[in-house]
Amino acid sequence: MFRFSADRLPVIFVLALSVVDFGVYLAVDNVWWLVSYTLLMILPKGIVCAWNHHHQHSKTFHATALNRILEFFYALHTGVTTNLWVLHHVHGHHKNFLDQTCDESAWQRADGSKMGVFEYTLVVTATAYLRGFRVGRKFPRLQKAFVIYGVLTLVGVIALCVYRPLPALFVFVLPMLISLLFTVWVTYDHHSGLSTDDQFEASYNNASRVFNLMTGNLGYHTAHHYRQGLHWSKLPELHKQLESQIPPELIRNASFVLASA
């Protein structure tokens, strides 16, 4: 069933969080309890965003149907539907991150100046689906799945809103938007300010054990870009192999995210 046994615990976490979401959605009507729940879930759903990222680099299950089901629940937590990051991130950003004129997650403005973190977050979030669709023109099969399952997810969210509007707003709709913004916000620290043609000098790394435990080794970002299809569980080993080629100032240690410049 699983392509890598290391994915079992993350999937259990994601699905358990989904069970809690639907329990709150069906049982809670008090607006203040719903607001509290939305705020409480920002960090857990932010962590789910990292695992969704890994899934769209390296599928979790052998069976496509199981991957699509998992992607629906990922979308409810993260605001990222099937193949959005495959197109925008895998076939876009990873191929273009050294060229800010075409990077789908560009941190530079058209004039070459550096965006601030809030400008970057708003611009990349607002354009994410459009940019993903545009990249999909080169990958029609992936684009087709992106559109079909994106529409199905939208229909599902609309159905949840029709059945119980207030809980749906606070349990699903707002968290999807917040998580998408959160995802983009934390990626600002991956590359911003590093204008270079050398891939070993183009990413900040976070060596914190806590951060990498929560995010599936996403802190080993140079290694991730060096071999983007490598399963997350194997990134620490690759990082050790590459560490001597990474400038020491690009390896930091922060328990949450790197301090935005």
Q: Where are the domains of the chain?
A: 5-193, 196-261
Q: Return the bridge partners of 6, or none.
A: none
Within 8 A by CB and 6+ apart from 10, the residues are: 51, 54, 216
Q: Is the dihedral of CA 37, 79, 81, 53 positive or negative?
A: negative
Check if the beta carbon of residue 256 is closer than 8 Å to that of residue 242. Answer: no
- Residue 256 pLDDT exceeds 70: no
Q: Return the bridge partners of 114, or none.
A: 108
How does residue 259 score in pLDDT terms, banded at 50, 70 and 90?
Answer: very low
Give the tens place of pLDDT for each residue, 194-253. 999 999 999 999 999 999 999 999 999 999 999 999 999 999 999 999 999 999 999 998
Model-level pTM?
Answer: 0.93
Report the pLDDT value the prediction gives residue 106, as an integer from 0 to 100.
Answer: 96
- Residue 141 pLDDT exceeds 70: yes
Report the pLDDT value the prediction gives residue 261, as an integer from 0 to 100.
Answer: 36
Buried b (16+ CB within 10 A) or exposed e, 171-193: bbbbbbebbbbbbbbbbbbbbbe
In 54-175, DSSP assigns E strands to: none
Give the tens place of pLDDT for each residue, 163-175. 999 999 999 999 9
Q: What is the mean pLDDT of residues 74-93?
A: 98
Report the pLDDT value the prediction gives residue 254, as an integer from 0 to 100.
Answer: 77
